[in-house]
Structure 1
Amino acid sequence: MSSFEKKERTKQYFMQPGFTRLLQEIWKKYTSLGRVGGKVVLDRLSDEECEAINGFFGLFKQSGEKVEVLLTRFEEELQNSPFPSTIPELYLTLMGKPLLTRSESLLQQEDKWKDMFRSISSEVENVDELKQWLNRLYTGETPGYHTIRRVYRSHPKEAKRIVLQVVNALIHLRSGDAFYSSYDGEVQLDTVRLPVLAAKITGDSHAFDWKEPAGRLLWYGIREMWRDSHDERVVWGDDQDLALDPFMIREGYRKAGIGDDDLSSQVLFCIPDLRFDIQPTVWTLRQVNQQPELNIFASLYVVENPSVFSTLLDVTQQFRKLKKVAHGWQEKACPILLCTNGQPSVATLQLIELLLEKANSEVRLHYSGDFDVAGLQMAQAMAKRFATAFAPWRMDAKTYNVWSGKGPAFSREEIDRLQRMEIPWDASLTNVMEQKGHKLFQEVFVAELVEDWLEELGKLK
């Protein structure tokens, strides 16, 4: 029998469906141990499996039974079969590639990982900072390593493509080729929008979105190549992508000349001049960045939900009609009402920063949100960012105790997260929420917010 005929007969025999599960378990056991040893167990044998295993081993197993197979026994039977071979040789015949132990597989992967970066480095221009970043990315000494490593584990070719795209983008940003120039060079921009850069480099305007591995890797590369001398070099874990601050992301982009998405990011607010109909104002981040002139204000009230914001606007309009406001009524600085509409946008945070920078030190940011995990996390972030001005607005155990009970119940996971949270302005709040076990939304206690807001409006005369 020729070698070719032997291989074909081996394939024909072991490719029977009855051998599929047994062979998969044998491959895994061999890979794990690095040798022929141990045993595999198959529960609830099918008719096909009984036929194949009984015929190979000379057993009498019936459908639904369990079988234990020693790898040494399997290889012994294999050697005495019409197509003698070892377990690794059988794998090579059936799968067309070597059966590697776990240590051999890891070593091979590391060699390929090294080869990938060696190949990429040979293709890029001689930019020292870029070469250094690639070397640190290879060794895991820089943020972005975990991002690209996760892609590499399942799709090595995709990982290389992503790194090359990011390298190309960094080169274009560094040289200025990423920026638009026309009209004989007289019109020269010094910024480029991220989707425009992505389309120029990859043909896909969304390739460098933050949710994409290429987008996160580009930001990490920018942070390395445009790093300030006082920045610390750290290695972040796999979960750090989610923990980055939107302002930190924006500042990283700006260093390299990538402009903000200054139209999609918006802020909703109202400066209630009681001499006129009460209407909300919507500004884009572009408008906020133009440093608009704002009148002196008395305080800043921030709510999480649009329905609560609209209710407070309705109340303000009714207050205006009731008081029959005439010219000269508004003699004092008025409060500003702002809505984050859920997670605060960059435009929202930027406007708050701008307002507080221009205000005196006595101005307070009164913040109110939902009593759930996300609401508390947003309140914590506000308290941390605007520490000197932050004042919780009905975000305490007292309010929760009065109004809770009808909302949806917390899940087990949410309870666990509550237990790990620390609320600096009310240490008892999470314990009370855990005990009662129900979420409380702003809309439920909106009456208290209305009373506080009307009291604030009453100070205008």
Structure 2
Amino acid sequence: MLDEALAYFQGKSGFRRLFPLFRKKMESLGRVGGSVDITDFKDTELEEIAVFFGSTKEVLLQKKKIYLLRFEKKLGETRFAGVGVRALLEGYFNEKIVSKKETHEQKRESEERTLVHWGAQYPDLTHWFDYLRTRGPDTYWVYRLLESGRLAELVPVLHDAVRNLTEEPIRLPVFSQKVSGDPHTFDMNQDAGKLLMHVLQIKSGCPPINGSEEATRLLESFYILRDDITNNVTVANLLADVGETVHPLWQAAVDTQSVLNIPYANCNG
């Protein structure tokens, strides 16, 4: 009976247009119910649907909508009686129709399993994985990386980074080179760098990092020194002291009305 119903509906353009709307409505509601709008259907499509209902396209357009339960009732009055809307649509699309709620729950369960598995595989990150499972606001972006597959690529290098933390001061590019073979892996604008900051933040128990200075202090608490030699501060019409003497470079810039790019490290003190 289902095969006969599929053969009938698959050959008609009106139902090729209608059934995807039915499916979307069922995914949204999680059940057979609700209605779909047909005001933008073509005349030929409406005529095919009207024949099924024993009506006319003018009557269908006047109603503007088709209710799924009404369609199911009409289906039971045809030679396809006994075939429900769900069975019909799942046969039509050749896959199970899953509600958005079910899809969301399945996705969360899959993420939970992944984090538990990683916790056993990468023990030095277990505390971080446990924190991610709380799904706080500062974890949403990490879950986006998980969904894209990017996080799976970065977890091993993050684990190596945590295992290589020492109490000997080391510059960030050197640390990055030591861990990954690339001095730029943990740059602050890279996913790995942002993840490392998050891991260290959770490890230290401090609140979310806000700004470059807090990031620098967090890294320094783990004896990692940012490479601020390449971070410049642009200055003009300012003088710097060396002891009690004005620095000649800064004096010359003021005298010639020039702009200086000074390494951030030289601006401290």
* Same-fold status (TM-score > 0.5): yes
Question: Secondary structure of 1:139's match?
Answer: coil
In structure 2, what is the equivalent of residue 74 of structure 1?
71
In structure 1, what is the equivalent of residue 171 of structure 2?
191
Deviation at 1:131, TM superposition (A): 0.9
Q: Which runs of 5+ in 2 are unaligned?
A: 240-249
In structure 2, what is the equivalent of residue 145 of structure 1?
139
Deviation at 1:134, TM superposition (A): 0.5
- 8 Å contact kept, 1:174–1:256: no
Deviation at 1:137, TM superposition (A): 0.6
Q: Does residue 244 in structure 1 map to residue 210 in structure 2?
A: yes
- Higher RCO (C-alpha 8 Å, min separation 6): 2
In structure 2, what is the equivalent of residue 30 of structure 1?
26
Residues of 2 paired with 1:11 and 1:262: CA distance? 70
Q: Structure 2 residue aligned with 1:54, among 47, 50, 53?
A: 50
Question: Secondary structure of 1:85's match?
Answer: coil
Question: Secondary structure of 1:267's match?
Answer: strand
Q: Structure 2 residue aligned with 1:267, among 223, 233, 236?
A: 233
Residues of 1 paired with 2:218 and 2:12: CA distance? 57
Paired residue type of 2:259: P
CA separation of 1:42 and 1:131: change in aligned 2, threshold 3 A? same
Q: Structure 1 residue aligned with 2:155, among 167, 182, 186?
A: 167
Question: Secondary structure of 2:228's match?
Answer: coil
Deviations 1:182-240 (A, max 9, x none): xxxxxx98233299569938x8957x665665543332112112x16xx35xxx7xxxx
Residues of 2 paired with 1:30 and 1:263: CA distance? 59
Q: How does 1:351-362 map to 2 (within 5 A)?
A: 351=267, 354=268
Q: Structure 2 residue aligned with 1:103, among 97, 101, 104?
A: 101
CA separation of 1:87 and 1:261: change in aligned 2, threshold 3 A? farther
Q: How does 1:57-456 map to 2 (within 5 A)?
A: 57-61=53-57, 65=61, 67-79=64-76, 80=78, 85-124=83-122, 126-127=123-124, 130-141=125-136, 144-151=138-145, 156=147, 158-159=148-149, 161-162=150-151, 164-176=152-164, 190-193=170-173, 196=176, 200=180, 215-225=193-203, 227=204, 231=206, 244-256=210-222, 259-270=225-236, 271=239, 273=251, 276-284=255-263, 288-289=264-265, 292=266, 351=267, 354=268
Residues of 1 paired with 2:224 and 2:45: CA distance? 60
- 8 Å contact kept, 2:169–2:225: no
Paired residue type of 2:218: G
Deviation at 1:14, TM superposition (A): 3.5
- 8 Å contact kept, 1:42–1:68: yes
Deviation at 1:35, TM superposition (A): 2.4
Residues of 1 paired with 2:153 and 2:177: CA distance? 11
Deviation at 1:17, TM superposition (A): 4.6
CA separation of 1:60 and 1:37: change in aligned 2, threshold 3 A? same
Residues of 2 paired with 1:14 and 1:269: CA distance? 72
In structure 2, what is the equivalent of residue 19 of structure 1?
15
CA separation of 1:209 and 1:192: change in aligned 2, threshold 3 A? closer
Question: Secondary structure of 1:244's match?
Answer: coil
Deviation at 1:133, TM superposition (A): 1.6
Deviations 1:247-295 (A, max 9, x none): 22233344445553535532122336379534322123xxx32xx4xxx
CA RMSD of aligned residues (A): 4.0
Residues of 2 paired with 1:46 and 1:259: CA distance? 67
CA separation of 1:192 and 1:273: change in aligned 2, threshold 3 A? closer
Residues of 1 paired with 2:103 and 2:91: CA distance? 19
Question: Secondary structure of 1:273's match?
Answer: helix
Deviations 1:166-187 (A, max 9, x none): 4323322233289xxxxxxxxx
Residues of 1 paired with 2:227 and 2:174: CA distance? 8
Paired residue type of 1:218: L
Paired residue type of 1:98: K
Residues of 1 paired with 2:187 and 2:16: CA distance? 42
- 8 Å contact kept, 1:147–1:213: no
Residues of 2 paired with 1:85 and 1:175: CA distance? 60
Residues of 1 paired with 2:126 and 2:30: CA distance? 37
Deviations 1:291-331 (A, max 9, x none): x4xxxxxxxxxxxxxxxxxxxxxxxxxxxxxxxxxxxxxxx
Structure that is richer in helix per residue: 2
Residues of 2 paired with 1:15 and 1:149: CA distance? 43
